[in-house]
Amino acid sequence: MQKKKILILLGPPGAGKGTLSALCAKKFGWKHVATGNLCRQEMQDKTELGLQMEALILAGKLVPDEIIVQMVENWLQERQDLVEGVIFDGIPRTVHQAKFIAKMLHEKFLEFEPLIIQLQVQKDALLYRILSRLICSNKECQTVYSLHAFVDKQQDEYRCEICGSVLQQRSDDTKEALEKRLDDYYQYEKDVLHYYKEHNVQVYQIDANQPVDKVFENLEKITTS
Ligand code: AP5
């Protein structure tokens, strides 16, 4: 029998972490936690935490580690259904977060097999993807689309194929914020990869410049090997 999985997806903005997480959730029934979604939820609900984060996120900066760790811990505490597997999307971004994940795996997920996947994509492609990304505005849905997938690109409004809600751009999907997100990402990624190397933890690389179905096929091979 296949061991239950913990999938940890590393990759720059636009690498396809959210897209692949949704495919894994649909095909394998794994539960998906995206730290970016947790942050946006706080912002949308206008909580004190959300107000603190807003300026950072809009400027393309990272949210402090303690806040991220606390939000993920809260998410885990509320879940009783992490039966088949869990996908961590957007965490770890820093060594502090990588240590938190390692501790959590040891304390809560000993019967799960952790798989750390690094999605690699060229910078030009990331810019193109992010600036044409559309997200379902329904917070229970949040399906990700690309404007390029629509035949008629001149419409005033696009709607979600699943729930019918309006699609919108993310407020941090601007060229300026993206440049900052990418700079930060590569700086922290180096440290996180170094941490894993130092601790002899295997990180699988996937060429994510390819179409989504190809990338998913490669991901599936790793999860079933
Ligand atoms: P977050 O929401 O995590 O954003 P991100 O890492 O910048 O990643 P994205 O969601 O932008 O990209 P993705 O890889 O999920 O790509 P997607 O599948 O959508 O974080 C946002 C902010 O929150 C951060 O900047 C930070 O401020 C804060 N934050 C979050 N986590 C944090 C943490 N741990 N620590 C500190 N701060 C944190 O795809 C993008 C587009 O490309 C879509 O349109 C999709 O259709 C298309 N696409 C996907 N794959 C392909 C493909 N193979 N070919 C062609 N198109 C594709």
Query: Residue 201: is its pLDDT beyond 90?
Result: yes
Query: Residue 198: is its pLDDT beyond 80?
Result: yes
| Confidence band of 1 (pLDDT split at 50, 70, 90) | low
Query: Residue 139: is its pLDDT beyond 90?
Result: no
Specify the pLDDT at position 153.
67
Cα 85 to averaged position of ligand 1 atoms, centre (Å) = 21
Q: Which of 8, 9, 10, 19 most suits a substitution to test ligand 1, by most atoms within 8 Å of the C-beta?
A: 19
Q: For residue 219, give every residue at least 6 positions away whose Cβ sits within 8 Å of its Cβ, in sequence order, or none.
A: 20, 24, 117, 206
Which region holds residue 90: left if phi is over 0, alpha if psi is between -120 and 50, else beta?
Answer: left
Model pLDDT for residues 48-81, shown as the tens digit of each residue: 999 999 999 999 999 999 999 999 999 998 887 7
Cα 40 to averaged position of ligand 1 atoms, centre (Å) = 12
| Confidence band of 178 (pLDDT split at 50, 70, 90) | very high
* Stretch 122-141: mean pLDDT: 92
Nearest CA to ligand 1 atom 9: 13
Cα separations in angstroms, 144 against 60, 97, 168, 173: 19, 25, 10, 13
Query: Residue 154: is its pLDDT beyond 80?
Result: no
Ligand 1 shell residues, CB under 6 Å: 11, 13-19, 35-36, 39, 56-57, 60-63, 68, 90-91, 93, 97, 129-130, 133, 144-146, 172, 181, 208, 211-212, 215
Specify the pLDDT at position 66.
95
Beta bridge partner(s), residue 6: 86, 114
Cα 70 to Cα 62: distance, rounded to the nearest angstrom: 15
Cα 34 to Cα 72: distance, rounded to the nearest angstrom: 9
Specify the pLDDT at position 108.
87
Cα separations in angstroms, 92 against 3, 22, 118: 23, 19, 11
**Which of 3, 11, 2 is CA-nearest to residue 192?**
11
Cα 21 to Cα 36: distance, rounded to the nearest angstrom: 13
**Average model confidence (pLDDT) across the chain:** 93
Q: What percent of the chain has pLDDT over 90?
A: 82
Helix (H, G, I), strand (E, B) or coil at 96: helix
